[in-house]
Homo-oligomer: A and B are copies of this chain.
């Protein structure tokens, strides 16, 4: 965590920006959770802990800092359609991955497959396109919901893990 803060600080300094207490708090907050959080959830988080009392970070600052973090590659936005706000996840220490979104329970699962990357890259290059990044979301039913559907509605099913 400390190294990440240092990297963020360096990133900011390079751009002639400052590593303020607010930015530090927001960075720590998003690296403290392993779920996908929206800007507002993050805002709420920052106000639940003691951090709020002394800092009272505003919504605008949360959004501004998230934009900076995204620019520096410290977090990544994740769009699931426009019914809900954008979700963010921290990236450092996590390989690139794609997302499976369960339409039943809303869980967001991560997965990755190197072949997928390779095929993608090649398919795109055939069109003379130079890929810089991509976003793959698969929508469907997660294992847990599929199972509980088989059992004709027994336990679980409405979890909200990681999302």
A contacts, CB < 8 Å to B: 77, 79, 81-82, 85-86, 100, 102-103, 109, 111, 113, 115-116, 119-120, 123-124, 126-143, 146
This chain's copy number in the assembly: 2
Given contacts A79-B81, A143-B128, are A123 and B135 in contact (CB under 8 A)? no
Question: Nearest 6 CB-CB pairs, A to B?
Answer: A128-B143, A113-B123, A132-B140, A134-B138, A131-B140, A130-B141
- Extra contacts, 6 of them, besides A77-B81, A133-B140, A136-B137 (Cβ < 8 A), are A109-B127, A128-B143, A132-B139, A132-B141, A134-B136, A135-B137
Which residue, A113, A123, A142, A146, has most C-beta atoms of chain B within 10 A?
A: A123
Residues from chain B with Cβ under 8 Å of A119 in the complex:
113, 115-116, 119
Question: Which residues from chain B contact A86 at a C-beta distance below 8 Å?
Answer: 81-82
Q: Closest CB-CB distance, A5 to chain B, in whole Å?
A: 27
Q: Which residues of B contact A143 (CB under 8 A)?
A: 127-129
